[in-house]
Structure 1
Amino acid sequence: MRYASLFAEYLKNYAKTRLTYRADFWIEVISDLLFQIMNLIFILVVFQHTPSLGGWSQDEVVFVYGFFMIPYGIFSTFFGIWNFSERYVVKGEMDRVLTRPAHSLFQVLLENVDPPSLMGSAVGASIMAICWSRLDLPFHVMDLLMLVLFVIGAVLIYGGIYTALSAISFYSDSPTGIVPLIYNIQNYGRYPVNIYNKAIRFMLTWLLPFAFVGVIPASYFLEKKADDLSNLAMLTPVMGLVVFTLGLALWNHGVKRYRGAGS
């Protein structure tokens, strides 16, 4: 209840700030939507030159992209810690965070909460619904439950990986350039992994499991049994718990090692 109360207070402060600068809020929403639309257009352009991609049709790939957008939007809303190293370690704001009784990661996440990113999740859900109809897929109540479970697992995978990347800052005296690299790698998860060579496929499945934030859980609904992807889909929540636990453990260890910004 204490953390729920803190969460509500952080959201109130966010709302007050955004109401002061309403134009900035809508500009951010529109820019995020345009970015997602451009990614969708790119997929459509690709299919103007090929009837299928690794055995996947246009509607199937767009369906995967729609699923990919849902957990990514939620992750971007609650895990906006792209500039953690610069803001909290280099500039010393972590010292302020550690003087408060709430868990340090909880504070950092809520200080950077970004509700407009949820618009991407809404768009992704709409894309999935349209493709679901176009592909004439059967719908059961269990599908909705599995969708929620897969989304939670995917968000935890995102959260665990980027929490671990942020925690690296506790062990380094300068910001790392690895976050942009991982950000680019994550986008491979929105395409069928069977179009990549075995090394990349292994990396995206088991090392940096971004395949579990898009194509693998989406294949459960598409019934892609030929690629064994729908069978792996059930591991999504498990993978999420494992990755987030590892990321949180690295964060907690890094916080203990942190000695302040100094002068």
Structure 2
Amino acid sequence: MFYTSMFVQYISQYMKTRLQYRTDVVVELLSDLLFQAVNLIFILVVFGHTQLLNGWSRDEIIFIYGFFLVPFALFSAFFNIWDFNERYIVKGEMDRILTRPIHSLFQVILERMELESLFGAFTGLAVMLYAGSRLALDFHWYDVIIFVAFVFGGALVYAGIFVAIASIGFWSDARTSIMPTMYNIGNYGRYPVDIYNQIIRYILTWILPFAFVGVYPAAYFLGKTKWYGYAFLTPVMGIVFFVMSLILWNIGVKKYRGAGN
């Protein structure tokens, strides 16, 4: 109840702050929408030169991209920690975090959240509905439950990977980080893994499992039966990777010795 209360209060204060600058919020939403539109245009350009991509049609790729946007929106809203190393380690704000009687990661998440990123989830749903209607996909009532499980699983996969990367900062106070590189690698999860070579496919499945954010769970709704096993592993992979990252974070906090002078 204590953490729930803190979560609600943080969100309340965040909304009050953001509503003071409504124009900025609108500009950010439009920028995100434009960015997503550019990615869709890229897919359309690719399929302007071919009918199939290793057996995947244009609408199937668009559906996968739409699904990817939903868990990615959840991740972006609550795990906006790309500058953790510079802000909390180099500038010493982690010292402030550790003086409060609440878990440090929970505080960092709430301080850095950007709820306007959740708009991307609605964009993703709209893209999925568009592609799904063109593919004449059939959905059942239980697919809603499966969809929610897959979305949270995919968001936890992303969160687990980036929390683990942020935890490296407890051992290294360098300003530079591999966060931008990892964001770029994450984009590979938007596309079917079987278009890559076997090594990249293995990495995207078991080492940096971004495939569980987009293609694997989306394959279930597309009726790709050979991927069903991977699809239903999505919540498991999300929980496993997030728990592992949380353990690494807690170890890092114990090793942390402050910013110094």
| TM-score normalized by the length of structure 1 | 0.97
Quick check: 1:262 aligned with 2:255? no
State which of 235, 241, 244 in structure 2 corresponds to 1:246: 244
Structure 1 stretches lacking a partner, 5+ long: none
Letter of the structure 2 residue corresponding to residue 97 of structure 1: I
SS at match of 1:203: helix
Aligned-residue RMSD, C-alpha: 0.8
Kept in 2, the 8 Å contact 1:169–1:175? The answer is no
Letter of the structure 1 residue corresponding to residue 200 of structure 2: I
1:126-171, Cα deviation, whole Å (9 max, x unpaired) = 1111111111111101111110000010011011000001000001
Which residue of structure 2 aligns with residue 207 of structure 1? 207
Which residue of structure 2 aligns with residue 137 of structure 1? 137
Letter of the structure 2 residue corresponding to residue 213 of structure 1: V
Kept in 2, the 8 Å contact 1:156–1:244? The answer is yes
CA–CA separation in structure 1 for the residues paired with 2:251 and 2:103: 13
CA–CA separation in structure 1 for the residues paired with 2:126 and 2:43: 17
Which residue of structure 1 aligns with residue 147 of structure 2? 147
CA–CA separation in structure 2 for the residues paired with 1:118 and 1:37: 16
Report the CA distance between 1:175 and its aligned residue.
Answer: 2.8
1:148-198, Cα deviation, whole Å (9 max, x unpaired) = 000010011011000001000001021343111110000000001100000
SS at match of 2:56: coil
Kept in 1, the 8 Å contact 2:80–2:113? The answer is yes
Letter of the structure 1 residue corresponding to residue 52 of structure 2: S
CA–CA separation in structure 1 for the residues paired with 2:173 and 2:138: 53
Which residue of structure 2 aligns with residue 96 of structure 1? 96
Which residue of structure 2 aligns with residue 192 of structure 1? 192
Letter of the structure 1 residue corresponding to residue 248 of structure 2: L
Quick check: 1:159 aligned with 2:174? no
Kept in 2, the 8 Å contact 1:220–1:231? The answer is no
Letter of the structure 2 residue corresponding to residue 120 of structure 1: G
SS at match of 1:49: coil
* Percent of aligned positions that are identical: 59
1:43-85, Cα deviation, whole Å (9 max, x unpaired) = 1111001101110000000000000000000110010111001
Structure 2 stretches lacking a partner, 5+ long: none
Letter of the structure 2 residue corresponding to residue 40 of structure 1: L
Which residue of structure 2 aligns with residue 20 of structure 1? 20
SS at match of 2:7: helix
Letter of the structure 2 residue corresponding to residue 6 of structure 1: M
Report the CA distance between 1:34 and its aligned residue.
Answer: 0.7
Correspondence list, 1:1-263, <5 A: 1-225=1-225, 228-263=226-261
CA–CA separation in structure 2 for the residues paired with 1:244 and 1:118: 20
Report the CA distance between 1:14 and its aligned residue.
Answer: 1.0
1:212-247, Cα deviation, whole Å (9 max, x unpaired) = 00000000011112xx22221010001011100111
CA–CA separation in structure 2 for the residues paired with 1:76 and 1:173: 24
CA–CA separation in structure 2 for the residues paired with 1:189 and 1:261: 36
CA–CA separation in structure 2 for the residues paired with 1:16 and 1:148: 29
Letter of the structure 2 residue corresponding to residue 235 of structure 1: L
Instruction: After superposing the two structures, state which structure 1 stretch, 117-126 or 175-184, moved more.
Output: 175-184
Letter of the structure 1 residue corresponding to residue 20 of structure 2: T
Letter of the structure 1 residue corresponding to residue 185 of structure 2: I
Kept in 2, the 8 Å contact 1:154–1:213? The answer is yes
Report the CA distance between 1:21 and its aligned residue.
Answer: 1.7
Kept in 2, the 8 Å contact 1:160–1:245? The answer is yes
Instruction: After superposing the two structures, state which structure 1 stretch, 158-167 or 12-21, moved more.
Output: 12-21
